Amino acid sequence: MPHTLEWKVRLDLFEDGDGTTKARLVLDTGTTELTGHGDAHCHPADADVPEIGDELAAGRALNDLAHQLLHAAERDIEGMGTPRPHARENAAWSL
């Protein structure tokens, strides 16, 4: 049986006054909302290139959200009674 869903993602980027770019990524699945966060700091000796800060902050927010999704899936799998694999085993859902 086919399964189709649409999840909505919103990414907000903003820069504060000290050269820090912050990213807030919200995933809305329709039943759950997760928020990932990331930030990037411009070193004083580096050229200020906002696009690089945006990419780093957004990438870090995506990474944060990915970890949250994997942990949620792991909890759901364990809730189904499936035991967690041993550390040396490589399961598709293990972190």
pTM of the model: 0.81
Domain-wise residue ranges, the chain: 8-79
pLDDT of 18 reads 81
Residue 12 corresponds to which tokens in the numbers above?
């907000």
pLDDT tens digits, 24-77 = 999 999 999 999 999 999 988 988 889 999 999 999 999 999 999 999 998 888
DSSP for 6-36, written as a single string: --EEEEEEEE-TTSEEEEEEEEE-SS-EEEE
Instruction: Assign domain 8-79 to its CATH superfamily.
Output: Rv1738 (3.30.160.240)
pLDDT of 52 reads 94
In this prediction, residue 78 has a pLDDT band, given cuts at 50, 70 and 90, of confident
